[in-house]
Amino acid sequence: MALSKIDIENMVTGELTTTNGGTGATSFSEGITEADTWRITTNFAGDADPITSNWERDDTDGNGYIGTGMSQSSGIFTFPSTGYYRVTFHHQFSGMVSGSNSNYVQHAIQYTADNSSYDDATEQWGQIFQNGSYNMATSSKIFDITDTSNQKVRFSTTSQGNNIYTQCHSTKNITYATFIKLGAT
Amino acid sequence: MRPTHIEDYLVNVRKGQWFGWSDSKNKIYANLIVHDGGSKPTEQQCTDGLKALQDAWDAANG
């Protein structure tokens, strides 16, 4: 008699066989359980250390997020659950630079372990070389979040002179952050 | 890029994140909000400021 079904509950014990390419693992892990994107809606000039205002969750053009999502207040992002998270910040900027000068732009993902004091967990630099030119910088880090009440992140940007503009939009992701939970801590 | 919106003027009024929009999908003057407690430009100042930026851009770019 041909076998038409496999009785998983009764015929497979606690280990996945290594026959035919199995892993021998004793359990399955879930796929991505948290993924979220937040962006800044409004352009600004000069420094924002930290970036406190005009954040919104991506809500246009086939948007979506997985799980509970991040929560945000005054630019401080709280993780929805413990775990390893990859946080990435994409920063686009333009500038008005006179002559042959250039201006630097720096951004950071800032991290706190005590919900108070922040360190720059990443630091990324870019440069504007001429009037009206655009550039972008991206930084990323994997955080081990074991205490969602005290371990948080925020973002900052500083620049040389005052003629650097952070480019933002409310219907496109131009300057934005992504948060993806990679697994349990 | 040629300035097209009053936001292009507003970013030059003060540095930092001093302003935003009560409805970010509808960036009209009536929805302009001030975050830093400073003064809010008038609608006329925004209109004139944008035009000045456009005139300067046009002069520089033909």
Confidence check: pLDDT of A77 > 70: yes
A105-133 pLDDT, tens per residue? 999 999 999 999 999 999 999 988 876 78
| Cα–Cα distance for residue pair A129/A40, rounded to 1 Å | 24
Pairing status of strand A44-45 against strand A35-40: unpaired
A146-163 pLDDT, tens per residue? 999 999 999 999 998 768
A57-75 pLDDT, tens per residue? 999 999 999 999 999 999 9
Chain B interface includes A48 (CB < 8 A): yes
Amino acid at A73: S
Question: Cβ contacts of residue A33 below 8 Å, gap of 6+?
Answer: A66, A67, A83, A181
Predicted TM-score (pTM) of this structure: 0.87
Nearest to B15 among A54, A132, A162 (CB): A162
Question: B11, A165: Cβ pair inside 8 Å?
Answer: yes
Residue A19 phi, psi dihedral angles, 5° rounding = -60, 145
Question: B27, A48: Cβ pair inside 8 Å?
Answer: no
Question: B11, A41: Cβ pair inside 8 Å?
Answer: no
Question: B16, A44: Cβ pair inside 8 Å?
Answer: yes
Question: A46, B18: Cβ pair inside 8 Å?
Answer: no
- The continuous run of DSSP H or E covering A126 comes out as strand A124-128
Question: Cβ contacts of residue A70 below 8 Å, gap of 6+?
Answer: A36, A38, A77, A78, A79, A80, A179
A16-51 pLDDT, tens per residue? 555 566 566 666 667 899 999 999 999 999 999 999
| Cα–Cα distance for residue pair A43/B7, rounded to 1 Å | 7
* Chain B residues with CB-CB distance to A45 below 8 A: 11-12, 14-16
| Cα–Cα distance for residue pair A83/A104, rounded to 1 Å | 35
Note the ipTM here.
0.93
Nearest to A47 among B16, B19, B35 (CB): B16
